[in-house]
Chains A and B, each alone.
Chain A
Amino acid sequence: MNWKVMLLIPVALFITTVGCKKKDNNPDNNNNNSFDRGALLTNYADNYIIPAYSDMTQKLTELKSKIDEFATAPDSSKLAAARTTWQTAYITWQSVDLLEFGPEASLSLRNYINTFPVTVSKLDANITSGSYDLEQFGNKDAQGFPAIEYLLSGIASTNAAVIGYYTTDAQATARKQYLQALAAKMLSKVSDVKSAWNTYRNTYISSTGTDAGSSISLTTNAFVQYYERFLRSGKIGLPVGAMTGVAAPTLTEAYYTPTLSKELAVAAMNAFKNFYNGKGYNNNTDGMGFNDYLMAVGTKDQTGKAMATVINDDLSSATSSLGAYPTTIKDGVINKRSELLAIYEQLQSIVPLLKVDMVSAFGISITYTDNDGD
């Protein structure tokens, strides 16, 4: 056969195939996946990340000033004010925690801000010795929100007793200094990340590729890892003992403020879902997010439902299950265990959707080494 004729056969077959291709539950042919990753990154940087760090800085500035006021003249109203601002700032942190990439990752912010449980013995030793370096990695479990929580709420059960630790106690002065140092450290850490973002922003939005070091890869990996390790496991899985089968209430976030733990988890879920959907941090405007990227790639489940929608819906229903959970997480891990395990299962079922379905649809490389696509 003449080779020109041989050439024609596949061309003809090709045209026939593409022409006759029927619609099914695979990616949509009509969908033009001309997705602009630059626009996605710009939306994330300008409408979520930068406003989030501004807000966090503001909340921590407030916390620092309330703590300074309390330390200057400890009384129960100043204690209450400090606790309230601590709580507000902690809830705000739930919207920032998922951003551990870029400057936040290089400063390992999460470790300094929210390592829990706090190690009380280490904290006490720091107060007693008076010489400590909060920048030291070994001190990460003696600072941040959990350490401040312990000092404001966990140290004693009544307000009067707490205040006693800052007035009549032998270590009162040292303790006040430590408390103030903690607030100052958090503020300075977050401020560092905030100002780093001002310069990092342009690098971030201009890295539009999909290789291992690209912004989309860093953001996705941080996002997915946060969900698995710090949201699913950190907030629910570890305290309920989903894998060990043994409840560990001391691992609960906000251990000394049990009523807050569920609220923090719900706030984290909401923030996670908003980020996924590309919502703005302040105005909730729907911008370009992971959901739009996934929609553009067009992968679907067996029933023809877009994976972008599947993920959103599952996140919503897990969030509402969590919101409807009738007790605190600290008590619930023992008293309402099976309900909490059911919620954990719901959270868990989203992990493969994120780690497998979303990541593979984005076509992101995870390493720089060569591959030949298996």
Chain B
Amino acid sequence: MTNSIKLRSKTLEQPVYSAALAVFRLIFGLMLFGGVVRFWLKGWIEELYILPKHYFHYYGFEWVPHLGNGTYLLFLICGLSALCFALGLFYRLSSILLFLSFTYIELLDKTNYLNHYYFVTLVLLLMIWLPANTNLAIDNIIKPATQKRWVPAWTVWSIRLMLFIVYFYAGLAKLNSDWLLEAMPLRLWLPAKNDLPIFGSLLNEVWVAYLFSWFGAFYDLTVPFFLLYRPTRPYAFVAVIVFHVATSVLFPIGLFPYIMILSAVIFFDDKDIDVLVLKCKNYFTILPVDSGSDMFTFAPKLRYVRLYAFAVFFVIQVLFPWRYLLYPGELFWTEEGYRFSWRVMLMEKTGYAQFVVKDAETGNTIGVNNNDFLTRNQEKMMSTQPDFLLQYAKILYIHYQQMGIKDPKVFATVYVGMNGRRSRLFIDSSVNLAKERDLFRHKTWIIDYKDKIYGL
């Protein structure tokens, strides 16, 4: 091994207090547990994963089976493993189970795709491989040898890097003409909240939409730096709280603000966290907090494999959001390469899709009532996203084939409105969607968007 790699790996393997990782684990796990409970109590398990007649699968995950009432069991596993994960109980097993069950849920229906769920999936994937149970964990009580005061620096930094990517890319995505020059879509969304107490009337003002847009972009691009830099960190953390609480008041984005606020704890100085947990131990002596001086080391065989695997993971994370550049056409319009790229709150996009099914043999035509097949939320997603349109066409094809039509042709007239512009025809209505395939190639049946949105 060359000296430079050794040196670099030395920096990466510098000891940092394990308490930083442990506290993050505790907070993240409890939050996910709360998220599962919330989902359950709101009746969303049934609404989103049991009642729908059809589901929209992710590309390559068509095989993921739906569980019917067994979905409750899946959520039970997810919730319990989140709790065990938080407490550091059987950490390796619980972290794997949590990752698998959470990801399974996400894979059930891409209608419910949210960027922050994707973020959670990625963090959980990382956490499986990190020694997050070396402190403040029940595992340490069961097996004291697992307790270590120190962990290699890269373990903490990998979580920080993940958060950094999320924020920074979300900021980059806001550098476009609609967001900065038109204050879209906030200009449509903010007045919808003008009945809020005290600040409500301000939300009518166009300049407020501009201020929010610009501040939002500035915030996303800079807050990870301010969080990393010790002198600005306290202010940045206050900004994190204010910003995300404000978004949770203004928009129906559920857990996302709290995930971001609590995750930002990972930016705190590991020494400060160590001091904090030691103080806590003074009050609650039962807490398994380490005051020793052992350093956690990975088994030498897999040490570098793990490090390189993480490097590959992050290279993918850094590159993946740029895949949209490989597609022609307007990203916001085609959404080819839009998902998994930290594009949050960027578009007010609404569609209307009227499907007709034609029997090639008899010439009979049937108008489709989408509500017979899809939930309202599925219909909303389907009407604006080409891959959903195709999958829905397949659903219709199979349905009408079972109804006795030999080779149903599926056509759709779709109108889409985006960021306040007048609705226009979205796809070629003369294309038999049942015969089109959902590939990574550009979908040529999408009608080109005439307006240009400048920027990233």
Contact = CB atoms under 8 A, between A and B. Distances in A.
B415 interface: yes
Contacts of A33: 191, 204, 206
Given A6-B222, A33-B191, A38-B195, A373 B366 contact: no
Interface stretch (A21-29, A83-91, A171-179, A248-256): A21-29
Contact of B181 (A17, A32, A362, A364): A17
Given A370-B252, A373-B251, A352 B376 contact: no
Contacts of B96: none
Given A366-B376, A366-B380, A372-B256, A17 B180 contact: yes
Contacts of A242: 367
B379 to A, nearest CB: 9
Interface residues of A, number: 59
Most buried by A among B204, B206, B364, B366: B206
A301 B48 CA distance: 36
Given A27-B187, A368-B42, A361 B420 contact: yes
Interface in B399-419: 415-417
Interface in A5-19: 6-7, 10, 13-14, 17-18
Nearest to A293: B191
A356 interface: yes
A275 to B, nearest CB: 20
Contacts of A371: 114, 252-253
B372 interface: no
B192 interface: yes
Contact of B210 (A14, A208, A364): A14
B115 interface: yes
B214 A14 contact: yes
A121 interface: no
A300 B422 contact: yes
A367 B374 CA distance: 13
Contacts of B384: 374
B180 to A, nearest CB: 7
Interface stretch (B82-90, B137-145, B341-349): B341-349
Interface string B266-285: 00000000000000000000
A208 B192 CA distance: 9
A364 B256 contact: no
A50 interface: no
A261 B356 CA distance: 27
A359 B350 contact: yes
Interface in A224-252: 233, 237, 242-246
Contact of B114 (A7, A359, A367, A370): A370
A372 B116 contact: yes
Contacts of B361: none
A191 interface: no
Contact of A373 (B42, B116, B210, B347): B347
Given A209-B195, A356-B415, A297 B188 contact: yes
Interface string B156-199: 00000000000000000000000011101101110111110000
B417 A370 contact: no
B3 interface: no
Contacts of B204: 32-35
A372 to B, nearest CB: 5
Q: Which applies to chain B's interface (DSSP): helix, strand, loop or mixed?
A: mixed
B417 A356 contact: yes
A353 B252 contact: no
Interface size range on B against A: 35 or more
B344 A373 contact: yes
A137 interface: no
Most buried by A among B181, B222, B349, B366: B181
A10 B352 CA distance: 38
Interface string A89-132: 00000000000000000000000000000000000000000000
A35 B194 contact: yes
B346 A374 contact: yes
A315 to B, nearest CB: 16
Nearest to A241: B365
B114 A372 contact: yes
Contact of B192 (A10, A38, A362, A367): A362
A10 B343 CA distance: 21
Contacts of A353: 423
B14 interface: no
B377 A369 contact: yes
Interface in B365-396: 365-367, 376-377, 380, 384
A125 to B, nearest CB: 29
A356 B256 contact: no
Contact of B352 (A301, A355, A367): A355
A357 interface: yes
A355 B384 CA distance: 13
A372 B338 CA distance: 13
A372 B423 contact: no
Most buried by B among A211, A299, A371: A371
A245 B364 CA distance: 7
B188 A373 contact: no
A360 B384 CA distance: 13
A237 B356 CA distance: 14
26 contacts: A26-B184, A26-B421, A27-B182, A33-B191, A33-B204, A35-B204, A242-B367, A243-B365, A244-B366, A245-B365, A297-B191, A299-B420, A300-B422, A301-B422, A352-B415, A355-B415, A356-B351, A361-B188, A365-B252, A368-B252, A369-B48, A370-B254, A372-B116, A373-B346, A374-B335, A374-B346
Counting from the closest, the 3 A-B pairs by CB-CB distance are A370-B254, A363-B192, A243-B367
Interface of A: 3, 6-7, 10, 13-14, 17-18, 21, 26-27, 29, 32-35, 37-38, 208-211, 233, 237, 242-246, 296-297, 299-302, 307, 310, 351-353, 355-357, 359-374
